[in-house]
Structure 1
Amino acid sequence: MSGYTIGEIIVWLLLAAILGFVLGWLLRQQKYQRARAAAGRTAAAPAPAKAVALSGGVESAGPVNARKGGRAPTAEYTIKGNRDSMYFHTPGSASYEQTIAEVWFKSEAEARAAGFTPPGTGGAAKKAPAKKAPAKAPAKAPAKAPAKAVASKAPAKAVARKAPAKAVATKAPAKKAPAKAAAKKAPAKAAAKTTVAAGKFPGSAKPLSGGRAPSAAYKIKGNEDSMIYHTPDSPFYGQTIAETWFRTEAAAVAAGFRKPRNA
């Protein structure tokens, strides 16, 4: 048996195990890095696969989707494309900087081959009239049919309009009858309203609500508490609330009323 003790052998075994673990971890990391590099290369590879044959036998890679934020996939792609408007923008375009690209092209030829056009040339708007064209044909056919139907019914409408006219003419006198009856009742109501209630003094009349005169003929206000009457010329006429009314001063004096002392 060798000169190593059991303790030393255990230490060497532990060191060998640690070394093996570290070497295995390093190998796994190298494999992982190589796999990531291969995946990155395959992700960038599909762009050239979309080759489009152009005039003159030149091939184009076609549109390439923009990266995050609309950035170009590589420095070779300088033409921005917008799928909504079908416009492409070159670096010299006025709206180049503010346009967020959805796809990128290497040249104008590639953009035109993919159906994109420069700004202001119509873009996607050119396709709209083609969709609306079929809608015009069916619209004309039904338009003529109703026109004939209306023409054939025209005499019937004319006859229908004349008939109500005669009916209204015959009923017109009947509607005026209630108006005459109302006119006859009007004087009766007016007479009822002008009825004057006699006051408690001879020749006097009771006031209306608020002390108002019972009729225009009564112009002399009487105060029953003070037994004073006021004519329209009296300085207290406007502020006096009449408790009784007289037609004339003579009627007020006969009932025992007197003029104000300062009048």
Structure 2
Amino acid sequence: MNHVHWWLFGLSFAMGFVLTFPLLVRPAQRRAPARTSAKQEPSTTKIPADPPTTKIAADPPTTKISVEPLTAKIPVAEEFPTTKIAVGQESATTRIPVSPLAPYGPGSANSGPDGSGPPGWPVKGRMDTKLYYTPDDPMYDATAAQVWFIDEVSAQRARFTAWRQRSKD
């Protein structure tokens, strides 16, 4: 500690204080002299009010234009369109109806408000886990379906995994 020059440190502190102090102290602001007479009121200037406005006439009434109702009818299909999908190794094909609310392509359908599915669609699917359950699975009855599949092939095509395969992992 012999190499520290304490006197130099003290001098730099004092110089900093001396140079900073005048910047911190502000000169007092001058005040206007107080009036000696309380009876004098400040002079006021009267501002003229806006001149009265004139009324503007409303727009004239408009005429109504008659519009003819559209009469073009859009044809509606009697049945849902179907897609042929090959079943197994056989050459026979099964017609699967394409549901307009098929969230995962042909062979899938949204579940109803109570979790029920279309009649004859036995495979239940859960969208959150991407697992599907068949009627032989022990968890089938306890599972609330979010999507239904017509068969396991449709579920696998939608990239769902069988519950049996997932439970073995």
Q: Which has the larger radius of gyration?
A: 1
* Fold conserved between structures, TM > 0.5: no
Give the number of the structure whose residues are more often strand, by fraction: 2
TM-score band, normalised by shorter chain: 0.3 to 0.5
Structure with more contact order per residue of length (Cα contacts < 8 Å, sep ≥ 6)? 2
